[in-house]
Every structure is written in C-alpha cells, then in structure tokens.
Amino acid sequence: MTRDVGVAVIGFGWMGQVHTRAWARLLHHYPDSPLRPRFVAVADPEPERRDEAVAAYGFGGAYADWRELLERDDVDVVSVCGPNFVHREIGTAVAESGRHLWIEKPAGRSAQDTAAIAAAVRKAGVSSAVGFNYRNAPAVEVARELVATGRLGRIESVEVRMLADYSAHPDGALSWRFDPTYAGTGVLGDLASHGFDLARYVGGDTVGAVAELVADRATFVTERPGATGAVSHFARGGDGPRAAVGNEDQASALLRFESGARGYLTASRVAVGEQCSYGIEVRGTEGALAWDFRRMGELRTCLDQDYQDAAWQTRLVAPRDGELGRFQPGSGMAMGFDDLKVVEARRLAESISTGVQHGAGIDDAVVAAELVDAVVRSVDEKRWVSP
C-alpha cells in the first residue's frame, strides 16, 4: 500500500534539484513504490533558488533558514544537498527531529563529521541514504554479480579511476570547495569517496575491506580568483585578487584488501581531456571486467577463455540487469545520471517502508570517509596505514 510522505530539500543548487527530480519521478518508474512523495518545503539562502523551487517544482513552503523547515509537522524525509561544512549540523538535526535522511556525499568534512551523523541516525532509528549513485548503474550490478559468483576466479586486482576536469581551468572560481575549513579535503571527498564505495560494492565479500593503503596527493593549481556569490563546480572567477587553494587536486592510493587482492585508486579534478572518466576494472585468475561511466550501459568482459590471448567483449545491459527495465524496454537504450538518483530514491523508500537498509546508507559513508582520512594520514606520515 502506497502512503504519502512529505519531502523537504535543503540546498537547492544542482544536486538539490537532482534529488527533487528523482523524488518527482519515483512513481513514474516505480508505480509499486511504498511511498508517494509530496513536496512540502525547501530551504536555501539564495532567494532565486527558493523561487524556482516553488514555481517549477511546487514546494509548499520556502525558507532561507533550514531550521524553520524542520519546525513543520508535515516533513517526513529530508534531502540534504548543501556544501560539506553544513552536512554534520543539518544531517544530525534532521535525524534528531525524527525525519528520514537522504544526504549527499561526503556526509561531512571528515570521518568524525560522518560518524556523528551516523550516530544520530542510529539513535533516532530513522532510515538513511547517501549519494553513492554509481553503484546503481545496471552494468555495475552485473559486475558485482560476476565477482560474487566466482566468474572471474580469485580476484587479484581492483582498480578505480575518478578523473574529472571541472577544476582544470586555472581561472576556476575559488569557491568553498577549495577551502579545507569548509570542504575538508578536495578531490578526495568529492570523487575518491565515490571510488572507494564503487570498489567496495563491486568487490563485496569476495574481496573484503581495504586492510591498508599508502597514498599520495598534490595540488597543481595553487591559486584561483575569488568567487562572487553561489557558484557551481564549473564557474569562472572574477578579475580580482587570487588566493591560495587549500586542498588537493589529485590523489592516488595503493590498496591491500583483506582477501589479499591488490588495488589502485586515482582521482583528479584537474584532468584535462577526461571530463568525467569514472570507472572500475577488476581482474581475477580466470577473467576480467571493466566499466566506464561515460558508457554507462556497457560492461566489458573477458570471461570463459584461456589464460593467454583472451579477448574482450562488450556486453550491453538488458532490461533484466539491475534496474534498467524500470527505465528502458531494451538492451542498448541508455540510462542517465539522473536515473541513478531515481534508483537511490526508490531504495530509500524501501528502507523507510521496511525498516531494513536498501542501497547505500550512512554507514557506507562512514567507511568511505574513514578511507579518505586514511589517505590523508598516509600522506602526512609517509607510510602504509590501516583505515
């Protein structure tokens, strides 16, 4: 039986709008959803964004201060999509108020921030979801199954890349993202956290957790022009004075998994020519697989062949794979980034309805944050460390 839930969104920039569209489309793709979203309130300090939320999406109330939003008695679940430095305060407040929580990664500036949110969620007994959307791609679901069922043999290596160019321009605006006081880490929190979750999800129990790692990080664009007002990842700065960038542009880590498998993760926000080259490669004693987000509906596999001279094949995901059938009727028909967020909303709806975690939750965010902190510690101490 479907029941109405009052949805609120805090932070109505790009990601807040992505969350809102996902909630709006939930019943379009999942008519059997246990929840029927109803937009009751939005909070954002920018009046233009509040006006758009009301006019284009039909929110019943709009607030400059998110605290006023939580005073309403018709809010059941809250999407938290603000900058990193507000996640801990808002995320814990949402949970403590008894509302279910959908929070974007990284859920705070550090593992300490993220653990505080997780503690509040557990204490309140509410459900949670975290924005590790790449695990929701149907090809990733197939990859996870191939690993779990032993089709690749004993896993030897897991390699993840999260390469983007959104900060490659040297005149990119010096927003909060480049200030550790507000963002914490740079590309580590923004993209490497996704990479760690992707490695954990595809590797599963077959590979186990990351037991230890050794890492490196660097800042290549050391100064940027100041930002004016609220800006996106891609905004250019003004003609005024330039100031120092306080966190990393690139990070890499060698990984040792509990199973004995080895891994490598690299992430960059200044990778010219890569746009959003996010992907994973897994190799075992009897096969291999590879996935690239830019070709989301394809999974490259090397299976059921001899050890030498084996060839790669490209498999187009089919409606039976993962959640593709909820969006497209046939193989080769592509899903998009926003579709992965609809899957996320569906899994949160299931969590709320059943009281059992479906999809990535706050505990997954804690693990990713601990791995990010381990990278920082490894660089600072110049040694292998355990998360």
Sign of the four-CA dihedral 181, 184, 187, 191: negative
C-alpha 137/C-alpha 134 separation (Å) is 6
pLDDT of residue 227: 75
Q: Which two tokens stand for residue 240?
A: 């005024």
Q: How many residues does the structure list for the chain?
A: 387
Taking residues 37-59, report their average pLDDT. Answer: 97
Average pLDDT, the chain: 96
The CA-atom distances, in angstroms, between 377 and each of 251, 263, 372, 380 are 13, 18, 9, 5
pLDDT in tens, 101-114: 999 999 999 999 99
Q: Which CATH superfamily is domain 3-133 in?
A: NAD(P)-binding Rossmann-like Domain (3.40.50.720)
Taking residues 268-279, report their average pLDDT. Answer: 97
pLDDT of residue 381: 98
For residue 313, name the pLDDT band (cuts at 50, 70, 90): very high
> pTM higher than 0.85, yes or no?
yes
Q: Which fold has domain 135-336+360-381?
A: Dihydrodipicolinate Reductase; domain 2 (3.30.360)
Main-chain phi, psi angles of 75, to 5 degrees: -95, 125
Pairing type for strands 77-80 and 100-103 reads parallel
**Neighbour count for residue 93 (Cβ, 10 Å):** 19
C-alpha 77/C-alpha 6 separation (Å) is 6
User: Same CATH fold, 135-336+360-381 and 3-133?
Assistant: no
What would you report as the CA-atom Rg of the chain, rounded to the nearest whole angstrom? 21
C-alpha 387/C-alpha 371 separation (Å) is 6
**Model confidence at 232: pLDDT above 90:** no
**Model confidence at 39: pLDDT above 90:** yes
**Model confidence at 228: pLDDT above 90:** no
CA angle 268, 269, 272 (to 5 degrees): 90
Pairing type for strands 288-292 and 298-302 reads antiparallel
C-alpha 26/C-alpha 168 separation (Å) is 35
Domain boundaries, given as residue ranges, for the chain: 3-133, 135-336+360-381
Element (H, E) at 330: none
pLDDT of residue 1: 72
pLDDT of residue 238: 65
